[in-house]
Amino acid sequence: MKNQNYENHTRYNPLHHFVLTPLTTIFFGWTIAKIDFSSQDAALESAFLFIGSFVLVLLPLIARMYALTLQNRIILNEMRNRYFHLTGRTFDEKEQNLKLGQIIALRFAPDNELLGLMDRSIAEKLTAKEIKKQINNWKGDYLRV
């Protein structure tokens, strides 16, 4: 497997990103284009098709949101554990001063860079993108959803 770094850490699921989501979006657009109010029956059929296609668009989005929410919870627990392992203290104080995006970015830092970068992130209010660019020895995550 190729080593991760800032340039290549973005992950795509081909089935989700390039098949399911585009197809449901195309179907939704086609349904809107074909809405017919010429008669009561046609309007009713159009309404049912619209509702059905809208639900189909929502399904992959909701599934992705659930996966990302769970992944964020796992990352937060991982960072709490890493911080405790490195310092012997709870992560509470640092966690209060960091945004979730910053914490997620910091997880790519190896243990020897993590604490210093964490302090700089708080002091300088670094964005997640800036944090990721500051990491010298990227700690890859090959199990992300």
Per-residue pLDDT band for 4 (boundaries 50, 70, 90) equals: confident
Does residue 22 fall inside a structural domain?
yes
Distance CA 49, CA 47 (A): 5
Does residue 140 fall inside a structural domain?
no
Does residue 144 fall inside a structural domain?
no
Query: What pLDDT score was predicted for residue 53?
Result: 97
pLDDT digits (tens, 9 = 90+) for 87-109: 999 999 999 999 999 999 999 99
Does residue 27 fall inside a structural domain?
yes
Query: What pLDDT score was predicted for residue 1?
Result: 61
Does residue 38 fall inside a structural domain?
yes
User: pTM for the full model?
Assistant: 0.80
pLDDT digits (tens, 9 = 90+) for 38-70: 999 999 999 999 999 999 999 999 999 999 999
Q: How many domains does the chain have?
A: 1
The dihedral sign for the CA sequence 116, 83, 102, 7? positive
Distance CA 80, CA 100 (A): 12
Which domain covers residue 44, as residue numbers?
14-134
The dihedral sign for the CA sequence 14, 15, 19, 21? negative
Does residue 101 fall inside a structural domain?
yes
Does residue 47 fall inside a structural domain?
yes
Residue type, 82: R
Does residue 8 fall inside a structural domain?
no
